[in-house]
């Protein structure tokens, strides 16, 4: 069952909501322009009806799935983002009826594959979504061929649309990604703070962008500017 709960389209009874900073504008494209254009097209309803996004952890899959839902929701589409490595992955029954939406983004499906009930549910959803012209977006750490599937035909269903693999950013691109998010937030990010974040969290770009959101809120609440001591204090409290 789907309920109408926020301006980004219907949400599930689990209360899953989109991260405030999860937009295409706040994500640094780097060498992933083609993947981003595919997702933008899906959000706009002008491109692919299904796609699969794969990458190692920390490269921004969840951010991009949420950005796709936000863009689609802003245009009036009924959509849902479900991270299956959390509460949404507890029961495959949550998939029932989702084909009534315009766009479904199923995140971290590698957390549930290997379970026969989940695989049957995913198989049925893909077929139902194709019949109802619903857009489907999947994300996992590996491409479909690299998942430990027990239902043979599911792998082929997961490749009914393009399979997109995110490329890690170069070091200079990571800095630009942080600076770009800071500009979107209207946040003054000194070089010393950017250096600290990149040195202590070198591979976790998705986490870096979330940390900036946390730092922005803390800076506004306290009236303090970002300094390395202040950043250490805020991030220690956020653990």
User: Residue 38: which CATH number?
Assistant: 3.40.50.300
Q: Which residues of 180-208 are buried (b: 16+ CB within 10 A; e: fewer)?
A: bbbebbebebeeebbebbbeeeeebbbeb
For the domain that residue 221 is a member of, what is the CATH number? 1.10.8
Predicted confidence (pLDDT) per residue in 214-231, tens digit: 899 999 999 999 999 999
- 41 confidence band (pLDDT: 50, 70, 90): very high
Predicted confidence (pLDDT) per residue in 111-147, tens digit: 999 999 999 999 999 999 999 999 999 999 999 999 9
- 11 confidence band (pLDDT: 50, 70, 90): very low
Q: Percentage of residues in the chain with pLDDT exceeding 90?
A: 61
Specify whether 111 is located in the same domain as 195: no
Specify whether 190 is located in the same domain as 214: yes
Higher pLDDT, 207 or 69: 69
Specify whether 12 is located in the same domain as 77: yes
Reply yes or no on whether the pLDDT at 151 is more than 70: yes
Specify whether 161 is located in the same domain as 93: yes
- 159 confidence band (pLDDT: 50, 70, 90): very high
Please say which residue of 165, 184, 212 terminates a domain: 165
φ, ψ (nearest 5 deg) of residue 61? -60, -50
Predicted pLDDT at 1: 29
Tell me how many domains the chain contains. 2
CA separation for the pair 26, 135 (Å, rounded): 23
For range 26-54, the mean pLDDT: 93
Specify whether 155 is located in the same domain as 220: no
- Give the range with max mean pLDDT: 9-13, 26-30, 89-93: 89-93
Specify whether 186 is located in the same domain as 153: no
Specify whether 47 is located in the same domain as 81: yes
Say how many residues make up the chain. Answer: 239
Burial classification of residue 78, based on how many CB atoms lie within 10 Å of its CB (0-12 exposed, 13-18 middle, 19 or more buried): middle
- 7 confidence band (pLDDT: 50, 70, 90): very low
Specify whether 176 is located in the same domain as 234: yes
Please say which residue of 143, 165, 187 terminates a domain: 165
Please say which residue of 165, 194, 221 terminates a domain: 165
Specify whether 16 is located in the same domain as 112: yes
Specify whether 160 is located in the same domain as 178: no
Predicted pLDDT at 210: 79
Specify whether 105 is located in the same domain as 194: no
φ, ψ (nearest 5 deg) of residue 151? -100, 105
Q: Strand pairing partners for 139?
A: 53
Specify whether 106 is located in the same domain as 84: yes
> Could you tell me the two tokens for 233?
């204090």
Reply yes or no on whether the pLDDT at 54 is more than 90: yes
Give the residue numbers spanning the domain of 80.
3-165
């Amino acid at each position: 069952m789907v309920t109408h709960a926020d301006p980004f389209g219907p949400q599930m009874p689990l209360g899953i909501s989109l991260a405030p900073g999860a937009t295409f504008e706040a994500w640094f494209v780097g060498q992933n322009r083609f993947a981003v254009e595919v997702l933008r097209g899906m959000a706009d309803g002008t491109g692919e009806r299904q796609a699969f996004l794969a990458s190692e952890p920390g490269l921004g899959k969840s951010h991009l799935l949420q950005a796709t839902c936000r863009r689609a929701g802003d245009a009036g589409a009924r959509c849902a983002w479900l991270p299956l490595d959390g509460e949404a992955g507890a029961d495959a029954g949550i998939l029932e009826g989702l084909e009534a939406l315009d766009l479904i983004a199923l995140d971290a499906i590698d957390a549930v594959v290997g379970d026969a009930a989940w695989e049957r549910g995913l198989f049925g959803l893909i077929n139902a979504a194709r019949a109802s012209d619903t857009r489907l977006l999947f994300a996992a750490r590996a491409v479909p061929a690299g998942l430990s599937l027990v239902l043979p035909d599911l792998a082929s269903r997961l490749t009914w649309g393009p399979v997109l693999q995110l490329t890690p950013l170069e070091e200079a691109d990571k800095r630009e990604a942080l600076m770009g998010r800071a500009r979107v937030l209207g946040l003054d990010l000194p070089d010393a703070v950017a250096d600290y974040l990149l040195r202590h969290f070198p591979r976790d770009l998705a986490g870096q962008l979330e940390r900036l959101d946390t730092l922005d809120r803390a800076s506004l609440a306290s009236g303090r500017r970002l300094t390395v001591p202040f950043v250490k204090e805020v991030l220690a409290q956020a653990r």
